[in-house]
Amino acid sequence: MALLGLTLGPGRADELTDIRAVRSFAAEAAKVIEFSNQHKVTATYTAVMKNQARSQLRNTAESTDSPRVKKYAQQAIDAVNANDAATLKRIAQELFTMEGVHGRAD
């Protein structure tokens, strides 16, 4: 992360970290919902994973200084609540695009 701080500045590096976090949580939640809809995971597993996603998204939204990260995190929470895997995938794709030339960290 120090390398990103040198090239992006501290504010941008923090936002990039938050973008990556929200992207990851949204993509994971989308997969859980898809697997649940295909009856590949139990209802208990789905509920636990969705609760974790909501919690992680909420924590990221509360800790970030970026209004756009807050917006995407809230949209992802709303999509998790609605079991909307398509919206979660769209959010993840938009955030992946926002990462720009720095690409994925994972």
Q: What's residue 104's pLDDT? A: 54
pLDDT at 74 over 80: yes
Domain count, the chain: 1
Q: What is the pLDDT of residues 25-66, one digit of tens each?
A: 999 999 999 999 999 999 999 999 999 999 999 999 999 999
Q: At what angle do helices 85-99 and 67-81 cross, to 10 degrees?
A: 160
From the list 97, 98, 78, 102, the residue with the least C-alpha distance to 88 is 78
In a domain, 41, yes or no: yes
End-to-end alpha-carbon separation of the chain, Å? 13
In a domain, 5, yes or no: no
Label residue 3 by pLDDT band (50, 70, 90): very low
In a domain, 66, yes or no: yes
pLDDT at 21 over 50: yes
The whole domain housing 35 covers 10-102
In a domain, 4, yes or no: no
In a domain, 32, yes or no: yes
